[in-house]
Amino acid sequence: MIKVLIYEDNPQLREGLTMLISGSEGFDVLAGFKNCDNVVAEVEAFNPDVILMDIDMPGVNGIEGLKRIRAVNTQVKILMLTVFDDNKNVFQAISNGANGYILKKTPPGKLLEYIAEAQTGGAPMTASIATQVLKMFSSMNNERGEDYNLSDREKQVLQLLVEGFSYKMIASDMFIAIDTVRSHIKKIYEKLHVNSKSEAVAKAFKDKIV
């Protein structure tokens, strides 16, 4: 049984979410609150597995509530459930320890999937949010780490990998043969000391190579 707490200031939506989640097998809503004024005490008292957290609430809002919870509890899974998909809120939520970020217009069945995914250690995100996160990371202007002596062409290929392009799409975008793409990627892997696309993308983010 996945135990859920809901923070949502709209009483109709809060009640609707409670009915949907508690009425589904394997889920139980322990309580719902209109803001995060007493969030630390409430989370301690109810000990939920997953928290659904609205952002825009009167009193203590969702971002501040998230910060307060994370100051004392890093184990509970927190999903931001909101109408906002702007960069500022996404960045604040993720950088302060949210486990996922989903929009309120998410279909009911998908919402239940997201809760279950978060509870098992996943990081669910609405597709439009995931796209923004990738763009946000790739456009950050922080100081760069080592560039691993990648050529400009190799950096261009790595940038497209980060953006989710397939080998075929990279070839089309750069007007080169797919074998040339493979050759570039082989050299990128060697220079980064990685063995897969996911490792290469992770290293690109970590060391701000692109």
Distance, C-alpha 184 to centroid of its chain: 30
DSSP letters for 123-170: --B-HHHHHHHHHHHHH--SPP---TT--HHHHHHHHHHHTT--HHHH
What top-level class would CATH report for the domain 2-136? alpha beta
CATH number of 152-206: 1.10.10.10
Flag residues of the chain having pLDDT under 70: 84-87, 134-147
pTM over 0.75, yes/no: no
Question: What whole-number distance in Å separates Cα of residue 171 and Cα of residue 65?
Answer: 46
User: What DSSP assignment string belongs to 97-118?
Assistant: T-SEEEETTS-HHHHHHHHHHH
Predicted local distance difference test score (pLDDT) of residue 181 = 94
**According to the model, what pLDDT value does residue 147 have?**
67
49 Cα distance to chain centroid: 18
Q: What is the pLDDT of residue 138?
A: 62
CATH fold match for the domains 2-136 and 152-206: no
* Structural domain spans, the chain: 2-136, 152-206
**Over the range 87-113, which residues count as b (16 or more CB within 10 Å of their CB) and which as e?**
eebbebbbebebbbbbbeeeeeeebbe
Give dist(CA 200, CA 157) in Å, integer. Answer: 11
Q: What is the CA radius of gyration of the chain?
A: 20
pLDDT value, residue 124: 83
Exposed, middle or buried, 195 (CB in 10 Å: 0-12/13-18/19+)? exposed
